Amino acid sequence: MNTNLGGVAGHLAKPSGKGPWPALIVIHEWWGLDEQTRRIADRFAEKGYLAFAPDLFGGELAALGDNAKATGLVQKYATGSDKSLCAVYDAIRKLPDAGAKVGSVGFCFGGRMSLLLGINRPLDAVCTFYGGGMQTLFGDLHRLRAPVLGLFGDADLSIPAGTIEKFDQLLGENGNVHEIKVYADSGHAFFRDSDPQSYRPTASADAWVKATGFFAAHLR
């Protein structure tokens, strides 16, 4: 359902039954809060999480494949997105249906923002799917104390060579409980089942198992 948390509109999905439930902030790709991200939040709710997908672009969307507009949206909302996510975290902690633990998961642009939220707020678990531009956060990664799951494709041309390996190294030096999985024959957005060009069913299915298992281990 549509709701507002911390002044940020978005899609809230609740499990069946009675809460409280562990909370999960689900962060969209650079296309904006589209049906794909709403469905992912719904899937996490079916697994027992109070899932909120914030609209970080104020209702604006880029059509799939319109990279120029998507880039413009990211640039337009960059600073505000950081502040918005912190406001969402602060608000979700106060919900009567939210349990004691809060995690985040994000995709592409959202994958980077998931990490940034973990740097700025004491999340209990952080998952990033092919976080675009995550190397810009490496200088602050020591402030991220939560367990981390990173899911990537080996043919992702949007992530510079060596970035994933450096990410793994820094998490190890920082003492984070973490797992990094790189899927063979998979590029950027391999989890996006609404895009037949990028979607990889086998990698996507395994990534879902890993993500749900990760959150079950750290948020319950």
pLDDT tens sequence across 78-121: 889 999 999 999 999 999 999 999 999 999 999 999 999 999 99
d(CA 165, CA 157): 15
Would residue 86 show up in a list of annotated catalytic residues for this protein? no
Burial of 206 (C-beta count, 10 Å sphere; 0-12/13-18/19+): middle
Residue 70 sits in a domain whose CATH number is: 3.40.50.1820
Could you count the other beta carbons within 10 Å of the beta carbon of residue 12?
19
What pLDDT is recorded for position 140? 97
Active-site residue 185, yes or no? no
What pLDDT score does 177 carry? 98
From the list 108, 124, 127, 178, the catalytic residue is 108
Q: pTM of this prediction?
A: 0.98
Average pLDDT of span 144-163: 97
Using the predicted structure, report yes or no on whether residue 19 has a pLDDT greater than 90.
Answer: no
Encoded tokens for 26: 């689900």
Domain that holds residue 200: 2-219
Taking alpha carbons only, the member of 52, 29, 26, 43 closest to residue 198 is 29
pLDDT for res 72? 98
Q: Which is catalytic among the residues 11, 28, 178, 188?
A: 188
Burial 71-85 (b: 16+ CB within 10 A, else e): eebbeebeeebbebb
| pLDDT over 90 at 40, yes or no | yes
Residue 174's pLDDT band (boundaries 50, 70, 90)? very high
Q: Specify whether 156 is catalytic.
A: yes
* C-alpha to C-alpha distance for 148 and 214, rounded to whole angstroms: 9
Give me the number of domains the chain comprises: 1
